[in-house]
Amino acid sequence: MQNDKEQAGKVALVLGGSRGIGAAIVSRLAADGAKVAFTYSSSPDRAEALVAKLAQDQHEAIALHADSGDAAEVKAAVDQTLQRFGRLDILVVNAGIMQLATIDQFALEDFDRMVAVNIRGVFAALHYAAPHLSEGGRIITIGSNVAVRVGFPGTSIYAMSKAAVAGLVKGVAMDLAPRGITVNNIQPGPTTTDMTKGIAELVLPLVPLGRMAETREIAGLVGYLVREEAGFVTGASLTIDGGYSV
């Protein structure tokens, strides 16, 4: 029988945790016993509501404002987590943005912003958190299945950013293996969130299972990867997309 509180005594930091997939991950880690710090950028009301909901369930969580496109703010989130909880065992980098346009229409400033959040922000999170992670800790990035299959026009820059994360994870897994820290990348397919509003009709025909993923399903894979039994999984990009990439 699995211990539902396996993460008791552990501390997690989730970058981008106030809504959608991130909020589901925060809730899952808290339910599994971890103390959780999470960041938000533009939704303080949702962040505070999530903290309050978790408190009602006797879970400890804190919300930290941080723009993942600003490396200094990412570092501050790591520092504040350590100041509050005294340790760091799990890092989940979920923060990301998605803008769609064909290559001839994609504005350079939008390109720079997507790279800043989706690539540089991931690097910053791993760079600043890695020295503080406990032996045998866990790092999980949330990528996208577009790194495997684009599927429709307008996704070139988003796909590039997520492919970069998949490549980064492979190398970081080797860097941190001597400390027993596993580093993995989850690649969700179409998932019901604010980010995917307006594209459901476009992507559903590409999903053999015929539906969008629920956020709890992505969080469930995170819940597995942080467990002790997943200690031999590292450097992997795990796609969870209802067959979209088949």
Q: How far apart are the first and last CA of the chain?
A: 33
pLDDT tens figures, 172-218: 999 999 999 999 999 999 999 877 777 778 889 999 999 999 999 99
Beta carbons of 27 and 54 less than 8 angstroms apart? yes
Q: Is 209 within 8 Å of 166 (Cβ atoms)?
A: no
pLDDT of residue 4: 60
Residue with tokens 């990439």: 245
State the pLDDT at residue 233: 98
Task: State the Cα–Cα distance between residues 162 and 152, nearest whole angstrom.
Answer: 16
- pTM of the complete model: 0.95
pLDDT along the chain (246 residues), means of 10: 76 97 98 98 95 97 98 98 98 96 98 98 98 98 97 95 98 98 97 80 91 97 98 98 96
Report CA-CA distances (Å) from 177 to 135, 170, 187, 205: 10, 11, 22, 40
Written in H, E and C, the secondary structure of 51-74 is HHHHHHCCCCEEEEECCCCCHHHH
> Which residues have C-beta within 8 Å of that of residue 202, sequence separation ≥ 6?
152
Task: Provide the percentage of residues in the chain whose pLDDT is more than 70.
Answer: 98
Structure-block tokens of residue 241: 């997309």
Tally of CB atoms within 10 A around 81? 26
Catalytic positions are: 158
Beta strands in 108-210 (DSSP E): 133-142, 182-188
3-state secondary structure of 197: coil
Q: CA 119, CA 162: separation in Å to the nearest integer?
A: 8
